[in-house]
């Protein structure tokens, strides 16, 4: 799959620090890509560099093999959905969606502006709401309008800057599923900026994990979670129990009064607390060293009582090891 977007050793320096430090990454054509990292890691600055709102100190940004450096945002065939939606409060839903088409008509490739807007309105399930103003819309509807305004321009890459963060958890899950379906049907490359590991894992074809201005690892969700390249990636993407420098995921950790005879590593522990989560029981335990570990036991598995001395074990093949 060829890359529609490519960053080559991109850096952004300010007088006191480096926000982006030698970032190289690719977004395959038609893929849902995520740039995942904690607040302050440089992911939004990276998005702004791609969009043209910031110029890099060094490096290259390529779209379809052509450099974007020096081009104004409106001359780049990329579009951005902002965290706060950035809707025009005095315009209707239709007027907000058509705004870019009126001022950048060369970016509408197929058919008339009105026909393109009508198709996107139907795709985003906004039919019947075209004359409403943003103040008359729910949070989810505002999100759909912001997406529609970007999609109608038919960009090569759609940039999404934590677009679900302002929504309540239930609506976030609903729109997460819609976003994935929308990307598949539109066939446009999405670059999704987020600090939420669950969102990145559930939505993405490809994830780049960013830390302190650098890309720590790029891969599929399975590769990022099951084969993290660094200790930071392992800890940031999901929970990890660290036992004598070895990482073990909670779902790969088991506990009980007795341990299997062979093929496992085991340490003694004391059960501290048990929480029923429906599909599993989450047990917090304390090792002799005082370190806390979390174990996820399958539903129906014998659970310890708080204060009980027990054993924790895991298979060697489930260990996550890193060079310090």
* pLDDT tens string 30-57: 999 999 999 999 999 999 999 999 999 9
Q: Which two tokens stand for residue 155?
A: 């960009």
- Provide mean pLDDT across the span 126-141: 89
- How far is it, in rounded angstroms, from Cα 166 to Cα 157? 23
Q: Do 3-232 and 239-318 fold alike per CATH?
A: no
Query: Any bridge partners for residue 151, and if so which?
Result: none
Q: Where are the domains positioned within the chain?
A: 3-232, 239-318
Bigger pLDDT: 9 or 262?
Answer: 9
Give burial (CB, 10 Å; 0-12/13-18/19+) of 6: middle
- Percentage of the chain with pLDDT > 70? 95
Superfamily assignment of 3-232 in CATH?
P-loop containing nucleotide triphosphate hydrolases (3.40.50.300)
Q: For residue 111, is pLDDT > 80?
A: no
By DSSP bridging, strand 254-256 and strand 157-161 are unpaired
Residue 38 CB contacts under 8 Å (≥ 6 apart), including other chains: 195, 211, 236
- Whether 321 and 233 have beta carbons less than 8 Å apart is answered as no
Q: How far apart are CA 297 and CA 158, in angstroms?
A: 40
Least confident of 121-135, 160-174, 195-209, 246-260: 160-174
* Statement: residue 110 has pLDDT above 50: no
**Which residue is it, tokens 């204060």?**
307
Confidence of residue 181 (pLDDT cuts 50, 70, 90): confident
Q: Say yes or no: domain 239-318 is CATH 3.40.50.720.
A: no
Q: What pLDDT, on a 0 to 100 scale, did the predictor assign at position 60?
A: 97
Q: Are 257 and 310 in contact (CB under 8 A)?
A: yes
Does residue 290 carry a pLDDT above 60?
Answer: yes
pLDDT at position 103 is 64
CB 180 within 8 A of CB 186: no
80 Rama sector, left if φ>0, alpha if ψ -120 to 50, beta otherwise:
beta
């Amino acid at each position: 799959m060829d890359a529609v977007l490519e960053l080559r050793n991109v850096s952004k320096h300010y007088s006191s620090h480096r926000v982006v430090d030698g970032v190289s990454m690719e977004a395959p054509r038609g893929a849902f890509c995520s740039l995942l990292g904690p607040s302050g890691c440089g992911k939004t600055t990276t998005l702004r560099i791609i969009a043209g709102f910031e110029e890099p100190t060094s490096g290259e940004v390529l779209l379809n093999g052509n450099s974007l450096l020096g081009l104004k945002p409106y001359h780049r065939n990329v579009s951005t959905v902002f965290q706060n939606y950035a809707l025009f409060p005095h315009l209707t839903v239709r007027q907000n969606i058509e705004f870019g088409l009126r001022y950048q008509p060369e970016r509408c490739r197929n058919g008339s502006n009105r026909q393109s807007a009508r198709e996107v309105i139907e795709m985003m399930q906004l039919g019947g709401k075209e004359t409403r103003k943003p103040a008359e819309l729910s949070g989810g509807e505002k999100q759909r309008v912001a997406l529609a305004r970007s999609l109608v321009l038919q960009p090569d890459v759609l940039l999404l800057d934590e677009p679900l963060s302002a929504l309540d958890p239930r609506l976030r899950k609903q729109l997460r599923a819609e976003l994935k379906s929308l990307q598949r049907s539109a066939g446009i490359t999405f670059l999704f900026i987020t600090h939420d590991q669950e969102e990145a894992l559930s939505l993405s074809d490809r994830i780049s994990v960013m830390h302190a201005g650098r890309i720590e690892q790029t891969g599929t969700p399975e590769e990022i979670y099951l084969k993290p390249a660094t200790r930071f990636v392992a800890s940031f993407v999901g929970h990890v129990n660290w036992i004598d420098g070895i990482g073990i995921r909670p779902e790969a950790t088991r506990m009980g009064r007795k341990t299997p005879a062979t093929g496992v590593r085991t340490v003694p522990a004391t059960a501290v607390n048990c929480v029923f989560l429906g599909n599993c029981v989450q047990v917090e335990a304390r090792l002799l060293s005082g370190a806390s570990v979390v174990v996820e036991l399958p539903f129906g598995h014998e659970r310890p009582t708080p204060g009980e001395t027990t054993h924790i074990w895991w298979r060697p093949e489930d260990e996550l090891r890193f060079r310090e």
